[in-house]
Every structure is written in structure tokens, then in C-alpha cells.
Chain A
């Protein structure tokens, strides 16, 4: 089946620094990748959608200058949290969709803690 990986699985950083999270589709070409944020005991909140080679489309209320998304190839998307603050601490999950167009495959998530 389709496999999506994320790296790192956990990261702790100091306030004011930037953190990059990678999302890779390992055995298929992901034309579209999604980035979600999940607060404790809550559902997933879609942050942005990225298509390979295009600028990401951000959901309302998500700061595009703070959460930089790059989808430079059909197997890799990155989310960079710039100038991180403690309120950015969360569980970030990516998913990827292939050319068939509707099913999404999820990564295992990245736990970000900003101190």
C-alpha cells in the first residue's frame, strides 16, 4: 500500500528558532500534499494544500509567512515553522494524494514542542 513518512517524529526547539518538517511519499507520486495540525484531543485542522510545483493554498487564519510550505517534487513536501513560539507546539500531520484523485495517505505525524 501507499506509504507516507514524516521526519522528524519529534522535535523540541527554542522559541524564536525555525523548524523544518519533511513529508515523503515512499512508493507513489503525490501530486497533492496536505498539512494538518492537531491539538490534544481534537480533530485534524487543515492548514494548507500544496500541489507539486505550485504555491500552497492556505486555509483561512493560517499565516503563510509563518508556516512555509514547499512541494518541490512529487515525493517531498516540507513545512517550515518560522520563528516558532510555544503556542505553535502541536502535532503536525501530512497526507499525500496520488493521481487517482481522492484517497489520502497519512504520515505518522510530528510532535513539535517549542520551549
Chain B
């Protein structure tokens, strides 16, 4: 079945550092891929998505490219802020089916 793997956290960075959170998936066919962000005590918010190979999702300075050849959807941001501290979930979705979530990666950004 489908599965999603994310890099182990927590990730601690200084403000303005470059961020990469790795996400790889195992799936047949062409699922859609998502990044969600969860701030402390809150639910999940959609950060960005990509629905087909080579699509790039972007939002709030974050980017991720759907790489079919490497089955990856790595999240990147050029310059993180303290306000980006949160837990980030990579997810895989198919039409009419449940999402498959990665375990989440906790990011802490220090001033």
C-alpha cells in the first residue's frame, strides 16, 4: 500500500537559515502530494500541494516539487522565520480515498 516517509526531527535552525524537510513516498500510479503545517495547539493547515509529476507547489515562501523519478516531495524555504516553528506533515492523497500522512517533522526556529 501507499506510504509516506519524512526525515526525523526535530529540526532546529537559526532565523534566516535555509530549510529542507525531506519527504519520500511509495505508491503506484500518480497520487497527489501535500504539505500540511500544524502550529501548537491547532489543527492542520494546507501549506501547498502538487497534483502531478514535475508540478511545483508554493506558498508563503515554501516550495516543493513533485519528483516522480525519485518519488520525493521535499519541502524547502530559503529563509525561515521564528513564526515558521511548527510541525510539518507530508501527505499523499488519491481521489475518493483516505490520506496517508507521514509522521511529521517538528521545526524550531531560533531568533
Q: Which residue of A lies closest to B31 (CB)?
A: A102
* Smallest beta-carbon distance A27→chain B, Å: 15
Q: Are A93 and B93 in contact, with the CB atoms below 8 A?
A: no
Output the least CB separation between A29 and chain B (Å). 16
SS class, residues of chain A in contact with chain B: strand
Q: Which of A49, A104, A109 contacts B42 (CB 8 A)?
A: A109
- CB of B103 within 8 A of CB of A104, answer no
B-contacting 9-mer, from A14-22, A38-46, A61-69, A70-78: A38-46
Task: Give the tally of cross-chain contacts (CB within 8 A).
Answer: 47
Residue of A nearest to B96 (CB): A101
Cβ–Cβ contact A6 & B43, under 8 A: yes
- Cα distance A6–B97 in the bound complex, in angstroms: 22
Q: How far is the CA of A101 from the CA of B43 in the complex (A)?
A: 21
The answer to whether A102 and B96 touch (CB under 8 A), given A42-B104, A43-B101, A43-B103, is yes
- A106 and B36 contact, Cβ closer than 8 Å, known pairs A43-B104, A93-B43, A111-B41: yes
A49, B96: Cα distance in complex, Å:
11
Instruction: Give A42 to B89 CA distance when docked, in angstroms.
Output: 11
- Could you tell me which residues of chain B, from 85 to 111, have a CB within 8 Å of some CB in chain A? 89, 93-99, 101-104, 106
Which residues of A in the span 69-115 have a Cβ within 8 Å of any Cβ on B?
93, 95, 101-109, 111
Give CA–CA (A108, B41) in the complex, Å.
8
**Beta-carbon contact of A103 and B93 below 8 Å:** yes
Q: Which of B41-83 contact A (CB under 8 A)?
A: 41-46, 49
Please tell me if the beta carbons of A104 and B104 are within 8 angstroms of each other in the complex.
Answer: no
- A15-B89 Cα distance, complex, nearest whole Å: 32
Give Cα distance in the complex from A44 to B100, angstroms: 10
Which residue on B lies nearest to A5, using beta carbons? Answer: B43
Query: Using Cβ atoms and an 8 Å threshold, which residues of chain B touch A107?
Result: 43
B103 cross-chain contacts in A, Cβ below 8 A = 42-43
Pick the contact of B99: A42, A104, A109, A111 (CB < 8 A): A104
Q: In the complex, how many angstroms separate the beta carbon of A114 from the nearest chain B beta carbon? A: 18
